[in-house]
Structure 1
């Protein structure tokens, strides 16, 4: 396996481990074990744990952007919104580590921001902003539509993270006569 292939396997393993344990609760030893390499080898691929976490953040958000882009391709307006929402729901059901990694990202950014680690916050923010910008364009560069899409998306993240089943009353606001949101 080439160094680039090994780096890719480390990023995939880091997403799983950080999704489940968070930044502080995940050891580089756990990532190395999941990949099947030594811990020192990880540091030949990444300078430190934070760089591994940021690579995992960037990959997770890039994968999510790809899901949105593929779903919205050739669609506009309401059709694009529904396709993107459906694709996202499928993503977080089929690969729950993607949602958990997002949630761990928000927690790590809040902690880093509180401690004054602007470099970390700025890097994570830039990755998330790419996702915002791409969905904004897919939704016709309509600020209200993009904001609504992301507001519902963040609520979906929260409800899913809490484990509320689809039929629970907290999901009832996702439907109206004209527009099923979820």
Structure 2
């Protein structure tokens, strides 16, 4: 049996935390469940992460970093005119992993809950990473504030509809036919069509009213 290094074990704990927090949220997930998924004891888990909050932030940070990395790779070598659709396609591909989608939503809930209770540490850490994500997309889109806002608004709407479990052929997705994926630019080529709608996690697409 191959013995895992502390760094490899830490990585497996973060992956397990992403799964468990995506399903149960911050307050609804126990460190015991995460330790059990990895196959380690709770005392060992707390040798890697000092507490549950640190582990949650590690999972949230990893999720946002992977989104940022995927979008950065998608726009490499592309012009600002091409970047919007390239990042949209990369984000759509990320949504094939429902855990990333659901963890995003759980992170927003956890920040709002912590802020309401006067705990700003979680929010400050998440906001720092979110601003990095925003700035990365903003630069790729030619530092166009309107286009950056539209890109993120589009992504948030996709998150909401997919999290609610609407199947890919449900009529609510028709709103995307009315929303251009990239704004017109002076002298830019004709705008391509909107990307394929993501499949909602865990739902049967055969029923349009499911």
TM-score normalised per structure 1:
0.95
Which runs of 5 or more structure 2 residues have no equivalent in the other structure?
A: 181-190, 196-210
Which runs of 5 or more structure 1 residues have no equivalent in the other structure?
A: none
Match of 2:75 in 1: 72
Match of 1:169 in 2: 171
Deviation, structure 1 residue 171: 1.4
Match of 1:58 in 2: 61
Deviation, structure 1 residue 179: 4.7
Out of 20, 23, 31, the position equivalent to 2:23 is: 20
Distance 2:176 2:194 in 1: 5
Distance 1:166 1:179 in 2: 20
Distance 1:78 1:168 in 2: 30
Match of 2:203 in 1: none
Match of 1:180 in 2: 193
Write the deviation string for residues 108-144 of structure 1: whole angstroms up to 9, x where unpaired.
Answer: 0010111111111101111111111111111111111
Match of 1:6 in 2: 9
Equivalent residues in 2 for 1:67-106, closer than 5 Å:
67-93=70-96, 95-106=97-108
Distance 2:80 2:177 in 1: 17
Match of 2:149 in 1: 147
Distance 1:181 1:174 in 2: 7
Deviation, structure 1 residue 79: 1.9
Out of 114, 129, 132, the position equivalent to 1:130 is: 132
What count of residue pairs does the alignment treat as equivalent? Answer: 181
Match of 2:34 in 1: 31
TM-score normalised per structure 2:
0.82
Match of 1:117 in 2: 119
